[in-house]
Amino acid sequence: MKSVYIRGNASLYGEVTIQGSKNAALPIMAAALLVPGVCVLRNCPRIADVEHMCRILENIGCRVDRVEREIRIDAAQLTESRLPKKYVTRMRSSVMLMGPLLGRLGEVSLSHPGGCVIGDRPIDLHVKALSRMGVACQDDGEELTAVSCGLRGTTLRLDYPSVGATENVIMAAVAADGVTCLENCAQEPEIGWLCDFLVHCGASIVQKGPGRLLIRGQGGLHPCIYTIPSDRIVAGTYLCACLAAGGEALLKGAPCGENDALEKAARQMGAGLKRTQDGLWVRRAGPLLAPGKIETGSFPAFPTDLQSPLLVAMAQAEGESSLRETVFNGRFGVVEELNRMGAGIEVEKDTARVPGGRRLSGKRVRASELRGGAALVIAGLCAEGETLVENRSYVDRGYEDICRDLRFLGACVQDG
Ligand code: EPZ
């Protein structure tokens, strides 16, 4: 298994261009199924999950051509409604193909995406919402089959602002007959980008207030050329790296207004942030201060995907702080490895208590999921001595090349 070798105890200085967004690209690739023609997606990140999505689209009849970061998806002829098991079980986000396939073919089958190390990943909210739109779902415990004799627009309120369920409903509603009013939907920026892509294809989607969307199903979508926005979680990861290791970095193309909760915490911890036309300047030269209580939640609250990277900075900050994880029930898995490096974090139920003031020491550690793996790399940057992060493939699911990017910031990291 590939790994990342890091020589630590060095501040960061440099500039790095932020890649295209994984969590915007994946739903937009799924939404391209709604368009019986060729959509061209630019600035697609070169990451494992996007490759997996390309394979799934090919498996169901799309012609997919990729040149560097440009992906052409020809969804004119869809031939298969059963999603390939080997990809569905590896990539949770394949569940968001339900909406578009029900819209195009009136049926879809997929094995359960299952849970993962960050917690339970049920799809009950997806099934409940689609059932309200004229979909009959049958689940034999192994495989879920959904069929529809025609999607119907309706008014529905999600029990929880699930990102994936919101995306599925939006795509189904675009293909449905009638108007859908969706309430308590997720407000993550990726929802806005998905709607923006669909509107570029001719869909009628209007925001009627925070967490409220009005979608007029009308079919007749036309192909478009669309540029994937930059990845707020990758930008936030590198902001946490600069915060934790100290130094100065320009995050070129970092999205504006998508990381306000993290930027507020970073300022509380002693970072200086400055928005320029090139992106976001981050500088942490003085002491690293404890941020007090941090709590994750759905947007605009602090993002769950950045809690592990921030924990590394909190562990070294002067003073005690805490982080409460309210989105996934298993997202503190990385703490065990961070504590082997000396982080001294105590987890009780959904809260991590971080005493702070710790000096990390380099160790051979193991990634077990995407964002926790990125946090271990950041810990290696700050630690005394050398760190080897194994199972780097988890990190490659969401980061094009974390070693390349951190080398741009002056870090001493190598592909192990
Ligand atoms: C998306 O996952 C992101 N993935 C995740 O990013 C992100 O952490 C998450 O949203 C929250 O922001 C992609 O966009 C590809 P949810 P998703 O449905 O859609 C529960 C990363 O690191 N839930 O909003 O799966 C669920 O168990 C990844 O890039 C149900 O109970 O997240 C969780 O506790 C990790 N029933 C909570 O809602 C359902 O039917 C949030 O899940 C669906 C979800």
Q: What is the pTM for the complete model shown? A: 0.98
At 89 the pLDDT is 84
Ligand 1 proximity of 169 Cβ (cutoff 6 Å)? no
The yes-or-no answer on residue 240 being catalytic is no
| Under 8 Å between Cβ of 100 and 53 | no
Ligand 1 proximity of 120 Cβ (cutoff 6 Å)? yes
Ligand 1 proximity of 122 Cβ (cutoff 6 Å)? yes
Question: For each of the chain's 416 residues, which pLDDT tens digit applies?
Answer: 799 999 999 999 999 999 999 999 999 999 999 999 999 999 999 999 999 999 999 999 999 999 999 999 999 999 999 999 988 888 888 999 999 999 999 999 999 876 578 888 889 999 999 999 999 999 988 899 999 999 999 999 999 999 999 999 999 999 999 999 999 999 999 999 999 999 999 999 999 999 999 999 977 899 999 999 999 999 999 999 999 999 999 999 999 999 999 999 999 999 999 999 999 999 999 999 999 999 999 999 999 999 999 999 999 999 999 999 999 988 999 999 999 999 999 999 999 999 999 999 999 999 999 999 999 999 999 999 999 999 999 999 999 999 999 999 999 999 97
314 CA → ligand 1 middle, Å: 24
Which position among 39, 116, 181, 195 bears the catalytic label? 116
At 115 the pLDDT is 57
At 377 the pLDDT is 98
68 CA → ligand 1 middle, Å: 28
At 114 the pLDDT is 62
118 CA → ligand 1 middle, Å: 10
At 90 the pLDDT is 83
308 CA → ligand 1 middle, Å: 16
Ligand 1 proximity of 375 Cβ (cutoff 6 Å)? no
At 33 the pLDDT is 98
At 93 the pLDDT is 87
CA–CA dist 26, 210 (Å, integer): 23
Pick the residue whose CA is nearest to atom 6 on ligand 1: 305
Burial class (CB in 10 A: 0-12, 13-18, 19+), 286: exposed
Ligand 1 proximity of 93 Cβ (cutoff 6 Å)? yes
> What atom in ligand 1 is closest to the CA of residue 26?
15
At 113 the pLDDT is 74
Task: For 384-401, write each residue's pLDDT tens digit.
Answer: 999 999 999 999 999 999
At 220 the pLDDT is 87
